[in-house]
Structure 1
């Protein structure tokens, strides 16, 4: 059996994009070609030359700069390009700026003949992932956003620290918007093989404090160092690994939820899903408490209002 050529085109070589490329080269042993596209060509050249050295220690990937036309035969196009969140801003504050940037990228990508999988990481990720599918007309399973993967990582680290166990022992998800209407799926959360709420008794105030700590961590990082990038870069590389290696990995991504959780809105939002070579193989409709289901639906409603306001402003 002849293995398919694995090629990733990265659009946006800022802090997130650069950290993602480094992570992907270290973790993936099936990546044949990594193309870096950025509006600052000199930066992309420097980064590609720097990243090239990593291939000596891991997999001999061809790393180089390129243009949107390189997407013509790519397996994945990863979009990290966009204006980053500043201290005091919400992710939704970025929508008008980053929507324009997204459209300027998608047009030449589609003109190249690209027929692979889009993975979106720019914020607000749920809105931009939804727009990517609408603008391109791609099958929904071939458009993925990082969603609540970073929120989930932060939750698992926090719960592991509180319970003095390895992070690998924690199985819990943040769901909904990657933003201020996210929520924790405590109903299904586990510590090892045991229900989290049995090992770690919590009242509603305790649950609220855990959620707020997860939500605020990004802002805390931005306050100290100006941006967050290592965590989301690793989330991105994990999604791409699942695609490139056809792993059937369950990840909390921004996925199409129409018909799930009682949601009929045509949008993407954070939920566990199985990711493999086809993209989103299927959405996992996980068990939610009555309160959690209401929070999920409220989060979806908020996202839909943002999308509706964008459409009305364009008309």
Structure 2
């Protein structure tokens, strides 16, 4: 019996993720969208790539949540893009509405699934999904830290001329301007980056990591990143579906860890078949802890606007 994964939202992030999942060939995938015929067309296109690339994944496009029934994992990518004249709070409320409706349908048809939230503002939307689903925190996870860490690792690798595989790093905190790249713990083939890169240059790379999404939005002119975000979700799904027990930074609902309560914040977590199987508490310096607290406060502001409490 093949595993079943649903991706809600067939835009750039969603459809690219479906392509990556199909090529993994370990699950059947349902791609849901509210736009009539669009997910069906994309699914058919992806199915026809199967004979060329050699995968047998069944890809189904649908506008009916009934087709998503009994999914092992559901990824929420659907959301509203910010438009001219729209405040941050307006966007927040609109996406709260979307994620709430999506989550209600997910729970109705797949009550035992694991939810991965991608919709921005990420940490706040994960909070919405947890609140509406009533799931235990182990089964609602936000994708952010994997992406932010991938950006940090990319810039470090480019700076020192090393393979990205040799760069290890963590980015904690909320998915936004207040994220906390832990440069102190970043290594290249086991060597601390402080031995390889000047301190002021490290700070510039940290800032570029914080601005990672905005830099791509500015370059594209219309739209945002989707290749790296979809790859980041894939890494999380790999660890869950294949029970890899991989430790990756992702947004989890903290209940006392790091001195934070009832809030989704990016921290290292071990992902396995049950979802979040362990939250890893890193020993932080006073300045790192203060930065994480500041990041958590920024997330709390968004949650307060939503008017929900877990």
TM-score normalised per structure 2: 0.92
> Contact between 1:6 and 1:30, CA under 8 Å: does it hold in 2?
yes
1:255-270 maps to which residues of 2 (within 5 A)? Answer: 255-263=252-260, 265-270=261-266
After the TM superposition, which residues 124-135 of structure 1 pair with which residues of structure 2 at under 5 Å, given as runs? Answer: 124-135=121-132
Confirm or deny: 8 A CA contact 1:92 1:124 kept in the other structure.
no
Q: Distance in 2 between matches of 1:206 and 1:163?
A: 11
Q: Is the 8 A contact 1:72 1:115 kept in 2?
A: no
Shift of 1:85: 5.1
Query: Which structure is higher in RCO with an 8 Å CA cutoff and minimum separation 6?
Result: 1
- In structure 2, relative to structure 1, the CA distance for the partners of 1:166 and 1:96 (3 Å cut) is same
Residue 228 of structure 1 and its aligned partner are, at CA, apart by 1.1
Q: Which residue of 1 aligns with 2:181?
A: 184
Distance 1:88 1:309, change over 3 A: closer
Q: How does 1:74-113 map to 2 (within 5 A)?
A: 74-84=71-81, 94-113=91-110
Q: What is the CA–CA distance in structure 2 between the aligned matches of 1:102 and 1:44, rounded to whole Å?
A: 19
- Which residue in the other structure is 1:232 paired with? 229
- The alignment covers a number of residue pairs equal to 305
Residue in 2 aligned with 1:220? 215
Q: Which residue of 2 aligns with 1:163?
A: 160
Residue in 2 that maps onto 1:280: 276
Are the aligned partners of 1:91 and 1:124 in contact in 2 as well (CA < 8 Å)?
Answer: no
Matched, 1:301 2:297: yes
Q: Residues 224-270 of structure 1, C-alpha deviation per residue, up to 9 Å, x if partnerless?
A: 2222111101101111111111111111111122211111x201111
Q: Which runs of 4+ in 1 moved over 4 A?
A: 85-93
CA deviation string 1:281-311 (max 9, x = no partner): 1111123221111111111122122212221
Paired residue for 1:115, among 108, 112, 124? Answer: 112
Unpaired runs of 5+ in structure 1?
none
Q: Secondary structure at the match of 2:277?
A: strand
1:50-89 matches, cutoff 5 A: 50-56=45-51, 57-66=53-62, 67-84=64-81
Scaled by the length of structure 1, the TM-score of the pair is 0.90
Aligned partner of 1:147 in structure 2 is 144
SS of equivalent residue, structure 2 residue 81? coil
Measured against aligned partners, the alpha-carbon deviations of 1:152-211 in whole angstroms (never above 9, x if no partner) come to 111000000111101111101111011011011122211111222223241xx4443222
| In 1: Cα distance, 2:87 partner to 2:265 partner | 17
CA deviation vs aligned residue, 1:114-141 (integer Å, no higher than 9, x gap)? 3110011010111111221111110101
Equivalent pair of 2:6/2:30 in contact (CA under 8 Å): yes
Q: Secondary structure at the match of 1:267?
A: strand
